[in-house]
Amino acid sequence: MNILITGCNGQLGSELRLLEPTYTEHSFFNTDIEELDITNQMAVDAFVAKNHIEGIVNCAAFTAVDKAENSKEICTALNTVAPAYLASAIERRGGWMIHISTDYVFDGTAHIPYQEDATPSPDSVYGSTKLAGELAVSKFCQRSLIIRTAWLYSPFGNNFVKTMIRLGKERSELGVVFDQIGTPTYAHDLAGAILHIVEAGIKPGVYHYSNEGVISWYDFTKAIHRVAGIDSCKVTPIHTTDYPTPAHRPPYSVLDKSKIKEVYGMDIPYWEESLADCIGRLNIE
């Protein structure tokens, strides 16, 4: 198959590029803004037609959650409009699309893991535009598969794991929120799951994927420092109200992964095992 990957320089896109050589029967077209402006409908249509694209994995998004609150236009363009263009273009070719979404489509007021059929109720510009993107993809592409994920990290780009390692080395004390609960997602694991789905065949619908387990940002930070060998920084638990941000964070964003495990027979790694693998790749000194 000819497969278009968008957002190839991001965390997930970078991990997909590392795994692609093991799937030599496919031709991957890795693109970012320099190669393809997905907010330009004519450009998307032309690229998909010219390269005979049969499937799309859309990893591109505006993910700066706080900046999104004052950048609604560009956030909407990337998170809502662009996915609609991609879905429409691949539908005309009878192809499929995998679209990456987020736990932020929920407001985090639940007390049990969110299943795919839970009613979305985003409480931020980022979450609202991502939900609208999901609806657009489902509307314009019959063979579409949406994966909601959460707390993504990798050796690439900017993310919580790399930030906590840097701050742990620079500071003697850190305050980290303990009243936001979720599950980290190692982008390498998610990339592998996506390519597994491509091989197994698209079964349309919404799916949830994160690593196994449940943890707070505070506990995650403690684990990051332990695995990275940082013992000179005291980590203190604080409330969300002690660290106000422009965008609302879901206090509880645990995703139920039963569906993707049952439909695709996946064995999802535990978050701490994946964290150790990631930190090992970062070559911590």
**Active centre residues (catalytic):** 126
68 and 125 in contact (C-beta within 8 Å)? yes
Q: Which residues pair with 41 in a beta bridge?
A: none
| Beta-sheet strands, E only, within 103-194 | 144-149, 152-153, 173-177, 181-182, 185-186
Q: What is the 3-state secondary structure (H, E, C) of 218-281?
A: HHHHHHHHHHHCCCCCEEEEECHHHCCCCCCCCCECCECCHHHHHHHCCCCCEHHHHHHHHHHH
